Structure formats: C-alpha cells, structure tokens
Structure 1
Amino acid sequence: MQTTLTTRATDRSPAFVVVTAMTPLVLGLMAYAADETSGLARAVLLALFSSGAAWGLAALVIGFLAPGRRLAIIAGVGGLIGATVVYYALIVFVSRRWQGGWLEDGTPADVMGLWSIARALGFWLVVSVVAGAVFGVLGDAVARASDRVGAAAAGVAWGLAAASGIHDLLVLARWVGWNGQATDIAVSAAMTIALATLVVAVLRRRRGPRGSGGMLALAATVSSGVGTAAWWLVESVRTAV
C-alpha cells in the first residue's frame, strides 16, 4: 500500500510543480482581466478565475497533487498569496485605478486610493492564508486518506467552494426586480457551483477506488451551509474594510 501511494505521489510531482508555479500568474492575470470586461464575458471570467470557488479549487488541486500534507499546505497558501499579489500589483501599476480622484477641497485623493487598495490587499492576503491551508489539506485528504475520510474531504471541499455561488443566488432571491446585472450574477453563481462539481468529480475519479457516497453527500450539505454563512461574514467584513 505504501509503495502504491509513493508511486502515485511521484507520478503527480511534475504536475504539482507546473500547477503550483502557474496558479499565481493565471489567477492574478485573469482576475484582473475580469475587472476590465463587462456583461456576460465578465460573469464567465469571474466564475472561472476570480470567484471564491475558483481560488479555493486551485488550492484544492495543488493539495491533491502535492507529495505530502505539509507541502500541500505551503503550496496552497503560497499559490493564493501569489495570485493576490499579482492581482493587486496589476491594479497599482497597470490600471492605476487609484489615481484621478479628488477630495471635496480639491486636493488629489491618490493617497486615500492607495490606502484603500492596501487595506483590501491585507484582507485578501489573510483570506488566502486561511483558504490555501484549508483547501490544501482537503486536497491532500482527497488524494491520500481512506475512502471514507477522502469522501468526507471531497464533500467539504465541494460545499466550501460552491458556497460563494450559493450565497450569490440567495442574495439574488431577495432582489425585488430582475435586470441584466442580476442575470450576469446568476450565470456567474451557477458556473461557480458547476465548476466546484466538475473539479471535485475529476479529483475523485483520479483518486482511484472510491466509495462512501453517503458520507460525501452529508459533508457537502453541511459544509455548503457553513460556507454560505461564512461568505455572508466575509462580504460584511470586506465591505467594512
């Protein structure tokens, strides 16, 4: 059994290196690209590259491919931190959206704009550390734990990743009217849930022999509820910051 696990870890090592190296660049660049588009194209890019699901699932895949749990955590955290830094570096040095504002007394608001970006960067770096560690551990469990524990880890990963989409759909349900913006949000939310389902299904299949479907369903149900509540808190804190 140990030989089999070692062989599987070795087989995944090249993919682990590539995915870990590319995650910061791809997520950071594409999340920035989503900000520069609008309409349905923006909704799609947000779901695939700039949603909580997309970033959490990236760390999940890194954890799944990692040779061990410790490296899964380090690489998962590092990948999301790197992506966050790339994204905000592009805002500061490329789009420079913090420039051009003016205070009521006529003085430039550039310093306040930079301070706002710095606060957002700090907030999302903290989130990246937590999410990278959690999803890294879950990815490692999906790959190497027993069938029952692996199924539970897959269910938790799905629930936490899909929670951002579920949260957005619940927010939309409270809207009085419906317009193009609501449609884009609904499309993006549905895609994040579909993305979570696809990635977890693929990782479960790559794991090999599997079972405990009931455990997976139970873990997914509970974690999606907890994750959705957590997103309400994240959104509240982010707004305050």
Structure 2
Amino acid sequence: MTMPALHRSGVEIIRRKVPWVPVVGAGGALGLFAFVGDELPGVWGLVILTLASSGFAWGMAALLAGYASTRHEVAPVNATVLLLLATVTYYGLILIAGRRWHLGQLADGSSAAASGLASVGRHTALWVVASVAAGVVLGCLGSIIRRGARLPASVAAGVALGLLAGQGLHDVLTFRAWGALDAFFLGRLIAAGMGVSLATVGVTLLFVRSRAARSWPVFVGTSLLISTAGVLLWSQIESIRQAL
C-alpha cells in the first residue's frame, strides 16, 4: 500500500506501509492450529500436525509470505515475523493452556513443574532461532521464485522444495516400526507422505505461476540434491530436540 507522497525541497518521497495484518493473522493462526494438533489424539491429530505443525507447514507459510511480499527486501522480514509470531503463540498457549509441562513428579516426589518450564524455555529458544533462519532463507526464496530470472528462479524453487520435503523424507527413511504398524505408526507414515506430497504440489504451483521463465531440469535436479541436504538437516534437528 502506498502512502501519499510528501514533498521536501522539491524531492518526492513515497512512504510504503507494510501489510502487517495478514502476516500477524497468519502467524497467530499457525501457532493456534499447531497447539490444537498437539492436543488431538490418534491419526487425526497427526494429520493436523502435518498441516499446521510440521517443517512443511511452517516452511510453506514462510515461503508464501516471501512470495506474496510486494518487494524483495521485505520478503525475509515478513516471513521471519510470521514464524516468530507462530512460535510465540504456540509456546504461549502451551504455558497458559497446556496440560503437560506442569504435571507429574520427579524421582524424589517433588513437582516436575520447574523442569517442565525449563524444557519449554529451551524449546522456545531453539525454535526462535530456527524461525529467524528459516524466515530469512524461505522468505528470500519465495521472492526469487516470483521475481527472479529463469535460472535463479528455477534454483530457488528446487531449493525450497528440497527443504520443505526434508522432514517428511527423513521420517520415511528412518521409520523402523514396520513390524508394529498400528494406527499410530500408520498415521506417522501418512503424515510424512502428506508432507512430501504437499510440498511438491505447493512449490510446483508457485513455480508455474511465477513471472519468470522456467527451467524444469534445473528445478528437478536442484530439488533432488537439496532433498538429501534436507534429510540430513532434519536428522540434526531431531538430535537437538532429543537432547533438549
């Protein structure tokens, strides 16, 4: 949105308003639905987590924020703000309405609330850092997909697809419960497959709708290469999460 031009010493100055309302609304909604998905049991809870609380879901939201930004320089800002708001909303709801962090007892019979609160704090710090990194990277990628020339846009789309599909591919490749494939584990496999499929469809649609010319071989080759890096990245993230 463009504000009225101001004139100072004969120089026209144009001030632009950043569309914060959609960014704030999307960030709050993403954090809310992620919290709801945590609270729902069974397969449906896993499906909702895939759609609202997975690497694919949050990454796609950041990519779309960058893609929809009116200017390239504000794309990483919009994407980062969206992810930070989602993180704050999600962990804020866990503190206010969550039922798990303050329940239970330690071995000596004392309350586990202090250790639960510390765990929430550590995870919040981790995902705040991850939100900044992912917001900057995916916001820029979304803007390049929309506005870049043929080769940069094709590479950016491939990188985005590889990153967004990384968690689902990691979950499928590291799945070890084939002999005990009950409803829970089946839900995990379905959720992982949905993440990979939706990432492929979503990024491909953005790539097709972009203004730039396209190189499909570059897009496919880059996505396959970065998918491997995405799997390794999520392996490290899972290790950090377990250590916290």
SS in 2 for 1:166: helix
Per-residue deviation, residues 121-153 of structure 1 (Å, max 9, x unmatched): 111111111111110010011011102210110
Match of 1:222 in 2: 225
Match of 1:154 in 2: 157
| Alignment gaps of 5+ in structure 2 | 1-15
From the CA coordinates, give the structure whose radius of gyration is larger: 2
Given candidates 100, 105, 112, the residue that maps to 1:102 is: 105
Per-residue deviation, residues 52-81 of structure 1 (Å, max 9, x unmatched): 011011000000111223211111111111
Match of 1:193 in 2: 196
> What TM-score, normalized by structure 1, do the two folds share?
0.89
Mapped partners of 2:150, 2:17: distance in 1: 25
Given candidates 130, 135, 140, the residue that maps to 2:138 is: 135
Q: Pairwise mapping of residues 203-222 of structure 1 onto structure 2 (< 5 A)?
A: 203-208=206-211, 210-222=213-225
Mapped partners of 1:153, 1:78: distance in 2: 21
Given residue 35 of structure 1, which amino acid in structure 2 is its aligned partner?
D
Match of 2:47 in 1: 44
Deviates more, 1:75-84 or 1:18-27: 18-27
SS in 2 for 1:120: helix
Mapped partners of 1:97, 1:207: distance in 2: 44
Given residue 190 of structure 1, which amino acid in structure 2 is its aligned partner?
G
Mapped partners of 1:230, 1:238: distance in 2: 12
Per-residue deviation, residues 69-125 of structure 1 (Å, max 9, x unmatched): 321111111111110110001010012422122122222121111001000111111
SS in 1 for 2:242: helix
Contact 2:160/2:223 (8 A) holds in 1: yes
Deviates more, 1:150-159 or 1:190-199: 190-199
Is 2:54 the partner of 1:82? no
Match of 1:4 in 2: none
Mapped partners of 1:181, 1:121: distance in 2: 26
Contact 2:83/2:135 (8 A) holds in 1: yes
Mapped partners of 2:195, 2:139: distance in 1: 19
Q: How many residues are aligned here? A: 229
Q: Pairwise mapping of residues 105-124 of structure 1 onto structure 2 (< 5 A)?
A: 105-124=108-127
SS in 1 for 2:136: helix
Per-residue deviation, residues 184-225 of structure 1 (Å, max 9, x unmatched): 011101111121122212212321453200000011011100
| Alignment gaps of 5+ in structure 1 | 1-12
Is the alpha carbon distance of 1:189 and 1:19 closer, same or farther for their aligned partners in structure 2, counting shifts above 3 Å?
A: farther
Contact 1:23/1:80 (8 A) holds in 2: no
Match of 1:64 in 2: 67
Given candidates 215, 232, 237, the residue that maps to 1:234 is: 237
SS in 2 for 1:172: coil
Match of 1:202 in 2: 205
